[in-house]
Structure 1
Amino acid sequence: MSIVTAVWFVVVAGFWGATNPFIKLGSKGIESIKASSPFRQFVAELWFLITNWKYLIPFVINQSGSVIYYITLASADLSLAVPITNSLTFIFTAISGHLLGERIKSKKTILGMLLVVTGVTMCVLDKVK
């Protein structure tokens, strides 16, 4: 795996993680939708989401990350692809959530984030050719 491939996985994690809090914010209000049948409920909720730009824009960016992930997997070592994207997605989610006003609950969370970044960096440096 090359360093370029690893960078693309970090980009994917950024797309996924940075959009998660925005998707959460954009979907507020969906719980108040009520319909007379399960099918109508599904359609009403789907309509709510696809007509809500606060949800739709982050969702499209998030799915763009999935397309990049799929393309990058062709030249990647799976033993690195999954840990890089999944663990760094958590980091980006926590950071973007914090920037939107969510509190990071404890210093242990910050320490854990630093350890995750350190571990991913070590794994990448070990595998990069």
Structure 2
Amino acid sequence: MTSPDATPEPQPAAINYVAGFLLVGLAWGFTTPFIRRAAKDHNPPPHPVLESDAVRRSWLRSRIYGAFFGVLDLLRNPRYAVPLLINLTGSVWFFLLIGQAELSLTVPIVNTLAFLFTVIGDWWVESKVISRQTLVGM
């Protein structure tokens, strides 16, 4: 129970929420085309352990080693790792933002901005033309 003389905590300015929405949308949306392109263009180096008899004979072992080296190779690629790190940072910002802003507004606004920035990123990275249907959807 609070005393009647206690002053309420001041709320952050609306511009802080707007900046948070924009940063999360940008971190999620604009990095997606860069991650997609880096994964598509990725040419992993050969791994001799995957060709060993012990790995080839076991279906489970070949899948585990293959997945491990696949993830490791992608994370070693800065063209993939840097946008992924920015994208994951956006998730941390989002988590902090939903603790402050109204949840029923935060989720649709951030998802809409992420979609918008994904379309802009596709145009920037892949030179994709924005179709009329996409433009109407935005």
Same fold (TM over 0.5): yes
5+ residue gaps, structure 1: 114-129
Aligned amino acid, residue 8 of structure 1: G
Counterpart pick for 1:16 among 28, 31, 46 = 28
Q: Aligned-residue CA RMSD in angstroms?
A: 2.3
- Aligned CA distance change for structure 1 residues 105 and 92 (closer, same or farther; 3 Å): closer
Mean alpha-carbon deviation: is it higher for 2-11 or for 47-56? Answer: 2-11
SS, match of residue 75 in structure 1: coil
5+ residue gaps, structure 2: 1-10, 51-55, 57-61
Match of 2:65? 40
Q: Aligned pairs, how many?
A: 113
- Aligned CA distance change for structure 1 residues 29 and 104 (closer, same or farther; 3 Å): closer
Tell me how far 1:101 sits from its aligned partner: 2.7
Counterpart pick for 1:95 among 120, 125, 136 = 120
Whichever of the two has the greater Rg, that structure is 2
User: Does structure 2 conserve the Cα–Cα contact (< 8 Å) formed by 1:94 and 1:104?
Assistant: no
Match of 2:84? 59
Find the aligned partners of 1:11 and 1:30 in 2 and give their Cα distance.
28
User: Does structure 1 conserve the Cα–Cα contact (< 8 Å) formed by 2:31 and 2:84?
Assistant: yes
Aligned amino acid, residue 12 of structure 1: V
User: Does structure 1 conserve the Cα–Cα contact (< 8 Å) formed by 2:119 and 2:130?
Assistant: no
Find the aligned partners of 2:85 and 2:24 in 1 and give their Cα distance.
13
Find the aligned partners of 2:135 and 2:87 in 1 and give their Cα distance.
24
Match of 2:3? none
User: Does structure 2 conserve the Cα–Cα contact (< 8 Å) formed by 1:17 and 1:90?
Assistant: yes
Find the aligned partners of 2:43 and 2:107 in 1 and give their Cα distance.
32
Tell me how far 1:31 sits from its aligned partner: 8.5
SS, match of residue 39 in structure 1: helix
TM-score by length of structure 2 reads 0.72
User: Does structure 1 conserve the Cα–Cα contact (< 8 Å) formed by 2:123 and 2:130?
Assistant: no
Tell me how far 1:105 sits from its aligned partner: 5.2
Mean alpha-carbon deviation: is it higher for 71-80 or for 21-30? Answer: 21-30
Tell me how far 1:23 sits from its aligned partner: 0.4
Query: Which runs of 4 or more aligned residues in structure 1 lie more than 6 Å from their structure 2 counterparts after TM superposition?
Result: 31-34
User: Does structure 2 conserve the Cα–Cα contact (< 8 Å) formed by 1:17 and 1:89?
Assistant: yes
